[in-house]
A and B are shown apart, each in its own frame.
Chain A
Amino acid sequence: MNSNLKKKVTTPLSDGPEWTFDLLEQYQTEIARVADFYRLDTYPNQIEIITSEQMLDAYSSVGMPINYHHWSFGKKFIESEQNYKRGYMGLAYEIVINSDPCISYLMEENTMTMQALVMAHACYGHNSFFKNNYLFKTWTDASSIIDYLLFARQYIEDCERKYGVEEVEEILDSCHALMNLGVDRYKRPQKISMFEEQKRQKEREEYLQSQVNQLWRTIPHKETESKKEKLKFPAEPQENLLYFFEKHAPLLAPWQRELLRIVRKVSQYFYPQKQTQVMNEGWASFWHYTILNHLFDEGLVTERFILEFLQSHTNVVFQPAYNSPMYSGINPYALGFAMFRDLRRMCEEPDDEDRLWFPEIAGGDWLDTLHYAMQNFKDESFISQYLSPKLIREFKLFNLQDYEQNPMLEVTAIHNEQGYMDIRQKLAAQYNLSLLEPNIQIVNVDVNGDRSLTLEYIPHNNVPLGESCDEMMRHVYRLWGFDVKLMEKKDNGKQVLLSKCPPEKPKES
């Protein structure tokens, strides 16, 4: 990019270490200017200064400024508090919410440098990602989430008053357990609007109840229908368990259905975030790095500033090796940042290998390439499209194969010519949510018989379900109200019973 578009100043902004609101404004203005220069398109920013105590609060409610009350949030709060007190976990200096306006939190204990870093990272990095990535555009509605949570909290509090805290807690427990299976993966959900919700809620209650009654009516309409038809219900396997229960569970009261809906909507809202962690963090890290260096080149920030920033940045993007005691998986910040930086390198200074592997982007405009990547990919496709051999060498990636039948583990690919494609493909697969989360769907409901529900688990690569099955089935049973069973479909097509609720009673003679 033309560096003559950068300003040149003689007096840099103060680097604190104490921050003031004036100083924050000044830095914000400069960062916004640079972000604009790099065409980062963001929602308006709402930047909130909070204490570390409030940060702990934010942590336990997943950053949402409003949330309904539940004991699991209390447990998370206590856990975070303990970890923080023991020094295991530095409080993240950034929490940012996908909403319009985009809310981010600055901790009051941060130095001015850290505040600037958070602003660049969260208010411009994450913000632009939330606004422009296709997954977020398709699956979440940033302008209504806060309102919806407000509605949810009010509604839940009302229910607690009317029906009792414990009853509500029980239903919420079951909903939380099934949260990952309460998401539509293939259809775009309707836009949520708080006004609509409130207006139509009463209507919905009555309508849902009438629909449910319709389904379970076993008294035939006319005499000629005395022969019960074999109803295949559901017609196709249903992946969104919570949606199915909301619409069809026979014994839920209308308020319970509304709770299911609330948990479902919240889960839907968070659905894209799980699939874009590497990209999102990489994008935000790349931009905090680029923007702050840009400011340094212009002379707007001091050397002390840039040194403090670099130290923090290096810590964040550090990737320990597999055999290091600090290893805990692939650091999304490390991978994401490296990939975006690599993309820029391939555009600005491609070598022969780059031209061979990425002919469309090598030597092209790096800003265009980055924006295109950010908007149109998720973690899995991003890695599978853009992970370069150079990065594979840099991280010294290797693939370890762990097959059940083999007594030993085998290294099948390393960072050499033969291994690049394989590693790229395997690493991308690791971020494929549908391969990581168990594939459990509703396949049958015995409408005319004992009303029992059958779930089917189709394992991928023979990976079995974890030991939480029985407990989970109890939660499913609580929501459905009648017998439920979980089958596993083996490779040979046969179905095997994994768990049922209520469990088998010993036969009485």
Chain B
Amino acid sequence: MAHFIDRRLNGKNKSAVNRQRFLRRYKSQIKKAVAESISKRSVTDTESSESISIPSRDIKEPIFHQGRGGDRDRVLPGNDQFSPGDKIKRPQGGGQGSGQGDASDSGEGQDDFSFSISMDEYLNLLFDDLELPNLQKTELQTETEFETYRAGFRAEGIPTNIDIVRSLRGAQARRIALTAAKKKKLKQLEDDLAELESNKPYDKALYAELLAQIEKLNYKIGRVPFIDTFDLRYRNFDKRPLPSSNAVMFCLMDVSGSMDQATKEMAKRFYILLYQFLTRSYDNIEVVYIRHHTQAKEVDEQEFFYSQETGGTIVSSALYLMDDIVKERYPPSQWNIYAAQASDGDNWADDSPKCGKMLRERILTYTRYYSYIEITNRSHQTLWHEYDSIDQQYENFAMKNIKQAADIYPIFREFFKKQTAG
């Protein structure tokens, strides 16, 4: 007596819960491993999963077991050289035990337990405990608008949505199905009739009967309707909600000549992190990219990260552009506005006071949070000092100095640390 059951379509990932528990339990170790690995990943690598290693002494499950030493006898297979009484030197660190299922002593095993986590899990861990500061509800947040779009076909609907071709197709299929057998028989009878007619004289009674049958069949075939309500097909429309934005992030990057390749790389890493963080944590966020050297230009993501333009440094150009864009498209009453600026601090000396003025009078009045990172090993210049004074006065301004790639992630976390209260 045997039954076969096909379980392949049943839920897979029964172990998903257990896996989640494992990840939760060892969260701190995994986070540590993740933080170390972020600096090694390439800037543009956003798809691949990550391989993590945790020291296995942290995750072992202990049992009482026998240790080394004592008196043991071991039976081994494959004797190729020994006779009774032979003596062998004890191998260092102990050799392989002649294991036996589960009951053997649990040895030290590997040093590290390594496994891979998916991109999602990786980013979740990366951005754990982070949030955009001072996010306030704006009036648009609760409203959702919808848009309609085509979504296949249905069997019911209103006359304007009838899809004629599909309906007729269905009708023809139905007609074929209902009449095929009859038509075959009809052909058969007509052949019989023709054969009968070709032989003279013929049996009148048979002839009449055949004619009657043919007429009956024809009648039946004729009764099958050309089209039926059953055949009709309608175009289907569906609604989906339009994202209603309530936050916008301005990314200002200095791409002047003084920024060398390595510095640009670090700035890019910072922005990639920022971008990932925002898109994961917030459904409705827009990002505006502004690159500047002596002039500022709003660009798209591709150009922001990959374009090769370069020039001198006038930071205020970027700030003016940002202000203009805000005036045009993002009224502060409806949008939460954030900004992140990256530079190496090497600004045109006269320009720094202009920046300060711009920030104080315009930008900082409506931004929720403005973060500035200076990527440099050298001593700070005018821009930094200017910003420093702003930092003292304004709560929604923050600035940090990044010296090397390993600093990016910790500083990023500092900027966006979750506020514990209020």
B-contacting residues of A (Cβ < 8 Å)?
21, 24-25, 28, 32, 44-51, 53-54, 56-57, 60-61, 69-75, 77-79, 81-82, 101, 108, 123, 165, 169, 173, 176-181, 274, 277, 319-324, 327-330, 332, 395-404, 407-416, 418-419, 423, 426-427, 429-431, 433, 436-438, 440, 459-469, 471-472, 475
Residues B67 and A433 in contact, CB atoms below 8 Å apart: no
Q: A25-B4, A74-B18, A468-B62 are in contact. Are A414 and B83 (CB under 8 A)?
A: yes
Interface residue total, chain B, C-beta cutoff 8 A: 67
Give the contacting residue for B21; candidates A53, A70, A397, A407; CB below 8 A. A70
B40 an interface residue at 8 Å Cβ cutoff? no
Residues B82 and A49 in contact, CB atoms below 8 Å apart: no
Q: Min CB distance, A424 to chain B, in Å?
A: 9
Give the contacting residue for A56; candidates B6, B10, B15; CB below 8 A. B15
Task: Tell which of B86-94, B224-232, B397-405 binds the partner.
Answer: B86-94
- Please, which residue of chain A has its CB at the minimum distance from the CB of B107? A466
Across the interface, which residues of B come within 8 angstroms of A47, CB to CB? 2-5
Residues A409 and B65 in contact, CB atoms below 8 Å apart: no
Residues B67 and A321 in contact, CB atoms below 8 Å apart: no
Across the interface, which residues of B come within 8 angstroms of A430, CB to CB? 73-75, 98, 100
- Please, which residue of chain B has its CB at the minimum distance from the CB of A49? B6
B421 an interface residue at 8 Å Cβ cutoff? no
Residues B18 and A77 in contact, CB atoms below 8 Å apart: yes
Q: Min CB distance, A180 to chain B, in Å?
A: 6
Greatest chain B CB density within 10 A among A46, A101, A123, A409 is at A409
Q: Give the docked Cα–Cα distance between A429 and B14 (Å).
A: 39
Q: A399-B73, A408-B88, A462-B69 are in contact. Are A324 and B64 (CB under 8 A)?
A: no
Q: Give the docked Cα–Cα distance between A407 and B87 (Å).
A: 10
Residues B79 and A408 in contact, CB atoms below 8 Å apart: no
Q: A395-B78, A400-B74 are in contact. Are A467 and B99 (CB under 8 A)?
A: no
Residues B84 and A418 in contact, CB atoms below 8 Å apart: yes
Residues B72 and A461 in contact, CB atoms below 8 Å apart: yes
Q: Min CB distance, B109 to chain A, in Å?
A: 11
Give the contacting residue for B101; candidates A274, A324, A398; CB below 8 A. A274
Across the interface, which residues of B come within 8 angstroms of A466, CB to CB? 64-67, 105-106
Q: Min CB distance, B17 to chain A, in Å?
A: 5
Give the contacting residue for B63; candidates A21, A180, A397; CB below 8 A. A180
- Please, which residue of chain A has its CB at the minimum distance from the CB of B17? A69
Give the contacting residue for A329; candidates B4, B12, B96, B114; CB below 8 A. B96
Residues A419 and B67 in contact, CB atoms below 8 Å apart: no
Residues A321 and B78 in contact, CB atoms below 8 Å apart: yes
B85 an interface residue at 8 Å Cβ cutoff? yes
Q: A48-B5, A123-B2, A180-B63 are in contact. List 14 more A-B contacts (CB 8 A).
A: A44-B1, A69-B17, A77-B19, A173-B61, A321-B80, A323-B80, A328-B99, A400-B76, A409-B89, A411-B85, A412-B84, A431-B100, A438-B65, A466-B106
Residues A396 and B18 in contact, CB atoms below 8 Å apart: no
Across the interface, which residues of A come within 8 angstroms of B99, CB to CB? 328-330
Across the A-B interface, how many residue pairs have beta carbons closer than 8 Å? 274
Q: Give the docked Cα–Cα distance between A71 and B62 (Å).
A: 14
Across the interface, which residues of A come within 8 angstroms of B62, CB to CB? 177, 468, 471-472, 475
Residues B88 and A463 in contact, CB atoms below 8 Å apart: no
Across the interface, which residues of B come within 8 angstroms of A468, CB to CB? 62-65, 106
Greatest chain B CB density within 10 A among A78, A79, A403 is at A78
Across the interface, which residues of A come within 8 angstroms of B19, CB to CB? 74, 77-78
B202 an interface residue at 8 Å Cβ cutoff? no
Q: A81-B115, A274-B101, A399-B73 are in contact. Are A60 and B15 (CB under 8 A)?
A: yes
B102 an interface residue at 8 Å Cβ cutoff? yes
Residues B2 and A32 in contact, CB atoms below 8 Å apart: yes
Give the contacting residue for B8; candidates A50, A82, A329; CB below 8 A. A50
Q: Give the docked Cα–Cα distance between A430 and B65 (Å).
A: 15
Residues A402 and B82 in contact, CB atoms below 8 Å apart: no
Q: Min CB distance, A218 to chain B, in Å?
A: 31
B71 an interface residue at 8 Å Cβ cutoff? yes
Residues A75 and B22 in contact, CB atoms below 8 Å apart: yes
- Please, which residue of chain B has its CB at the minimum distance from the CB of A82? B115
Residues A177 and B77 in contact, CB atoms below 8 Å apart: no
Residues A411 and B84 in contact, CB atoms below 8 Å apart: yes
Residues A396 and B15 in contact, CB atoms below 8 Å apart: no
Q: Min CB distance, A468 to chain B, in Å?
A: 4
- Please, which residue of chain B has its CB at the minimum distance from the CB of A436? B103
B279 an interface residue at 8 Å Cβ cutoff? no
Q: Min CB distance, A78 to chain B, in Å?
A: 4
Residues A463 and B71 in contact, CB atoms below 8 Å apart: yes
Residues B72 and A402 in contact, CB atoms below 8 Å apart: yes
A-contacting residues of B (Cβ < 8 Å)?
1-8, 10, 12-15, 17-25, 59, 61-80, 82-90, 96-106, 113-116
Across the interface, which residues of B come within 8 angstroms of A433, CB to CB? 103
Q: Give the docked Cα–Cα distance between A415 and B86 (Å).
A: 14
Across the interface, which residues of B come within 8 angstroms of A464, CB to CB? 66-70
Q: Give the docked Cα–Cα distance between A50 and B14 (Å).
A: 12
Across the interface, which residues of A come within 8 angstroms of B102, CB to CB? 274
Q: Give the docked Cα–Cα distance between A466 and B78 (Å).
A: 29
Give the contacting residue for A465; candidates B4, B64, B89; CB below 8 A. B64
Contacts A/B (CB < 8 Å), 10 sampled: A74-B22, A274-B101, A324-B78, A403-B71, A404-B70, A412-B84, A416-B84, A465-B66, A472-B62, A472-B64
10 smallest beta-carbon distances between A and B, as pairs:
A321-B78, A463-B70, A74-B22, A329-B99, A74-B18, A466-B67, A45-B2, A322-B76, A77-B15, A462-B70
Q: Give the docked Cα–Cα distance between A33 and B115 (Å).
A: 46
Residues B21 and A277 in contact, CB atoms below 8 Å apart: no
Across the interface, which residues of A come within 8 angstroms of B20, CB to CB? 74
Across the interface, which residues of A come within 8 angstroms of B13, CB to CB? 53, 57
Q: Give the docked Cα–Cα distance between A463 and B88 (Å).
A: 21
Q: Min CB distance, A312 to chain B, in Å?
A: 22
Give the contacting residue for A57; candidates B12, B67, B82; CB below 8 A. B12
Q: Min CB distance, A120 to chain B, in Å?
A: 12
Residues A54 and B75 in contact, CB atoms below 8 Å apart: no
Across the interface, which residues of B come within 8 angstroms of A330, CB to CB? 75, 77, 98-100
Q: Give the docked Cα–Cα distance between A329 and B1 (Å).
A: 38
Q: Min CB distance, B114 to chain A, in Å?
A: 7
Q: Give the docked Cα–Cα distance between A50 and B18 (Å).
A: 19
Give the contacting residue for B82; candidates A82, A411, A459; CB below 8 A. A411
Residues B63 and A177 in contact, CB atoms below 8 Å apart: yes
Across the interface, which residues of B come within 8 angstroms of A177, CB to CB? 61-63
Across the interface, which residues of B come within 8 angstroms of A72, CB to CB? 22, 61
Across the interface, which residues of A come within 8 angstroms of B25, CB to CB? 71, 169
Q: A438-B64, A461-B70, A464-B69 are in contact. Are A426 and B80 (CB under 8 A)?
A: no
- Please, which residue of chain A has its CB at the minimum distance from the CB of B8? A51
Q: A414-B79, A465-B67 are in contact. Are A61 and B88 (CB under 8 A)?
A: no
Q: Min CB distance, B14 to chain A, in Å?
A: 4
Give the contacting residue for B78; candidates A44, A396, A402, A437; CB below 8 A. A396
Residues B90 and A409 in contact, CB atoms below 8 Å apart: yes
Q: Give the docked Cα–Cα distance between A330 and B18 (Å).
A: 33
Across the interface, which residues of A come within 8 angstroms of B24, CB to CB? 71
Residues A277 and B67 in contact, CB atoms below 8 Å apart: no
- Please, which residue of chain A has its CB at the minimum distance from the CB of B78? A321
Q: A74-B22, A176-B61 are in contact. Are A463 and B75 (CB under 8 A)?
A: no
Residues A407 and B90 in contact, CB atoms below 8 Å apart: yes
Across the interface, which residues of B come within 8 angstroms of A412, CB to CB? 73, 84-85
Residues B61 and A78 in contact, CB atoms below 8 Å apart: no
Q: A404-B71, A411-B83, A465-B66 are in contact. Are A71 and B96 (CB under 8 A)?
A: no
